[in-house]
Homo-oligomer: A and B are copies of this chain.
Amino acid sequence: MSAEYTNPLFTVDSVLFTVKNEQLLVLLVKRAQAPFIGDWGLPGGFIDEKIDNNTDATARRKLQAKTGLSPAYLEQLQAISGPDRDPRGFSVTLAYFALVAYQDVSPQIASVESASWIALKDLAKLNLAFDHLHIIEAARQRLQQKTLYSMTPVFCLPTQFTIAQLKSVIETIIEKPIQRKSLMRRIEASDIFEISEEKIPSGGRMAQLYTLKPGADLVNFERNLSL
Q: Decide yes or no whether A78 CB sits under 8 A from chain B.
A: yes
Q: Decide yes or no whether A46 CB sits under 8 A from chain B.
A: yes
Which of chain B's residues has its CB closest to A224's CB? B222
Q: Decide yes or no whether A181 CB sits under 8 A from chain B.
A: no
Complex interface: chain B residues within 8 A of A206 (CB)? none
Cβ–Cβ contact B6 & A46, under 8 A: yes
Interface string of A52-63 (1 = CB under 8 A from B): 011100000000
Instruction: Choose, from A7-15, A109-117, A152-160, A186-194, the stretch at the interface.
Output: A7-15
Complex interface: chain B residues within 8 A of A124 (CB)? none
**Band of interface residues on A:** 20 to 34
Q: Decide yes or no whether A45 CB sits under 8 A from chain B.
A: yes
Cβ–Cβ contact B79 & A6, under 8 A: no
Q: How many copies does the complex hold?
A: 2
Complex interface: chain B residues within 8 A of A94 (CB)? 79, 92
Q: Decide yes or no whether A47 CB sits under 8 A from chain B.
A: yes
Q: Decide yes or no whether A49 CB sits under 8 A from chain B.
A: yes
Tell me the smallest distance from the CB of A79 to a CB of chain B, in Å: 5
Alpha-carbon distance A178/B218, docked complex (angstroms): 26
Cβ–Cβ contact A55 & B83, under 8 A: no
Complex interface: chain B residues within 8 A of A35 (CB)? none
Tell me the smallest distance from the CB of A218 to a CB of chain B, in Å: 14
Alpha-carbon distance A54/B8, docked complex (angstroms): 11
Interface string of A85-108 (1 = CB under 8 A from B): 000011010100000000000000
Complex interface: chain B residues within 8 A of A92 (CB)? 10, 47, 55, 94
**Residues 154-175 (chain A) with a chain B CB within 8 angstroms:** none
Q: Decide yes or no whether A185 CB sits under 8 A from chain B.
A: no
Q: Decide yes or no whether A211 CB sits under 8 A from chain B.
A: no
Cβ–Cβ contact A49 & B223, under 8 A: no
Interface string of A15-49 (1 = CB under 8 A from B): 00000000000000000010000000000011111
Q: Decide yes or no whether A216 CB sits under 8 A from chain B.
A: no
Q: Which 6 A-B pairs have the closest CB atoms?
A: A5-B46, A54-B81, A222-B224, A49-B90, A55-B81, A6-B49
